[in-house]
Chains A and B, each alone.
Chain A
Amino acid sequence: MNTLFNSKYIITSHPKSIFCNISLENLQKSIEITNQYLINLPSFFSTTDSFYEILNQRNLSGFLGEIFKKVICELDKHFVLNPHPDGRPDILYLQDPFVLKHFNEKCFDQITKLPLRSFLAPFQFDGIEVKASIGSLRGLAKDFPIGKSRINDISSINYWAHHRHACKLLGIYYDFCENNSGMPQIKALFFCELVEDDWNKVSLGKAENKKTSNTSLNKEGISKLKKSMILCSNEQKYINFFKKNNFLM
């Protein structure tokens, strides 16, 4: 098993940041567990140098988000993964006994026990949407193979979605970490409350291709993101980027 480069995280508490139901302790622990898992995973498949290339950049952000969601739900049993494949938000907050009862009794078909889209997409009570981003490159993607750090070459951090919808966003920022053999590692977390108007107009793509519809945060959304960093790696190059781009005060 490989050793995790002991990256420390700064707790940032922006005065305008909103309260996240997941404790900072659990968020820090979730980062640690996810990062360690990301380092170890390739060796389980004996494809050390190519595991994330096989997965490729297109899938990596989603994959990383999936791991992080699972870890959060394991550490805090008040959260459960949305059981519907198209469900939103991604993780549901079931601390309130009334909400828990609603979840158990209404959100699954009574006979087949399958999750019901009508109650889970969207879920009408509290929850958190989890998304991961490696940032928007200034240069060409071909010059940044899997494993090469991008922090010095990104222009911004943004998040993508299929729909413009209000949500509580737990945003992961990750990079390929030179101190851990180029493995993807979480370097910062954001938490903010978004409204529909914080997203750009949905791009539908072309009818003849298979690209799904998507949208990203607009100026207002990015502005919220800049006030919502809750954890950040203490490595200087990340601090420099976040300060330069007004993510850190």
Chain B
Amino acid sequence: MKIVNPQKISYFNGDLSTNLIVEAAIKVNQKLASAQLDTAKEVPLDIYDIIDLRMLSGLIGEMFIAELSSISQGKLLKNPDIDGYPDLCDISNIKDKDFKNYPFNYFKAYPHGGIEIKNTFGVKKPKTDLKPRESRLGKIQKKLVWKAHHQYTNNLLALHSDYISNIPQIIGIYYANNLTVSDWTITQKPKEGSTMTSFCQTETSGFMKIKQGLICFKEGIGYEHFI
């Protein structure tokens, strides 16, 4: 990973060294590479032939959350509420670390700051032939799009992933702490009976802000040309 911003990122109530973010990405990439290994003695099963891109994208985001939480050594807690915001809660200034003592919806909108994590594989250009597990870098639109559940999403660590030698890897990381509601499309709400979750996605203005906050990218795969 080539580090572009060797400083810190800041959010309400705290900051975090970008070195930790890069370290977390490297560890996630190592785990993604090892997860492909054949596990069944008699039958070769490759997870990346089974799991679809949407599931994989979410999984990489979750792995990164777990890794960064672990590396931060008690500073960032993975939000215990599955629907909570943000994904990583800064607990440096919290005295009572026994989170069972907190009210049921305390972490729904955690009040002491933290970081939200989203991942994207990029949006395929129209009429582009893209085979499964093929590198997407030259075949996706220049404007990356991240999806979120809420338009108030900010302090966003935005991951960009792609396949390298058929293995999914994090290839770029950005950060923006100046996103506003208008940087997101209007949230689409699920209809009655639908199993879809609500979501919105970055507008061009949001993408431009995020793009300014490049932290690091994978060298040797043509990312310089992409950005």
Could you say which of B39, B58, B62, B191 contacts A37, with CB atoms under 8 Å apart?
Answer: B39
Q: Mark B4-41, 1 if CB is under 8 A from A, else 0.
A: 00000000000000000000000000011011010110
Residues of A within 8 A of B220 (CB): none
Closest to A30 in B: B43
Q: Do most interface residues of chain A lie in helix, strand or loop, or is the interface mixed?
A: helix
In the complex, A67→B67 CA distance in Å? 27
CA distance A71 to B45 in the complex (A): 8
Contact indicator B43/A47 (Cβ below 8 Å): no
Q: Which of B47-55, B106-114, B202-210 lines the interface with chain A?
A: B47-55
B94 at the interface (CB under 8 A from A): no
Chain B residues contacting A70 (CB-CB under 8 Å) are 43, 45, 49-50
A25 part of interface (Cβ distance < 8 Å): no
- A41-B47 contact in complex given A36-B40, A47-B62, A54-B59, C-beta closer than 8 Å: yes
Pick from A40, A45, A46, A205: contact of B194, CB under 8 Å: A205
Say if the beta carbon of A211 comes within 8 Å of chain B. yes
B43–A33 CB distance below 8 A: yes
- Interface membership of B103, Cβ < 8 A: no
Decide yes or no whether A66 CB sits under 8 A from chain B. yes
Complex Cα spacing A44 to B30, Å? 11
A236 within 8 A of B: no
**B78 and chain A: residue at smallest CB distance:** A50
Residues in chain A near residue B196, CB distance under 8 A = 209-211
Count of residues in B whose CB is under 8 Å from the partner chain:
30
Least Cβ distance of B201 to chain A in Å? Answer: 14
State how many angstroms separate the Cβ of B196 from the closest Cβ of chain A: 5
**Contact partners of B67 in chain A: CB under 8 A:** 46
- Whether a CB of chain A sits under 8 angstroms from the CB of B63 is yes
Q: Is B82 an interface residue (CB 8 A)?
A: yes
Give complex CA distance A58, B70 in Å.
29
* Residues from chain B with Cβ under 8 Å of A37 in the complex: 39-40, 45
Contacts of B62 in A (CB 8 A): 47, 50, 54
Return 22 A-B CB contacts under 8 Å, by A number.
Answer: A37-B40, A37-B45, A44-B35, A45-B35, A46-B31, A46-B67, A47-B66, A50-B62, A50-B66, A53-B82, A54-B55, A54-B58, A55-B55, A59-B55, A63-B55, A67-B45, A71-B40, A209-B196, A210-B196, A211-B191, A211-B195, A211-B196
For the A-B complex with A45-B31, A71-B45 known, give 8 more contacts whose Cβ atoms are closer than 8 Å: A33-B43, A44-B47, A46-B31, A47-B62, A66-B50, A67-B50, A70-B49, A211-B193
Residues of A within 8 A of B (CB): 1, 29, 33, 36-37, 40-41, 44-47, 50-51, 53-55, 58-59, 63, 66-67, 70-71, 74-75, 205-206, 208-211
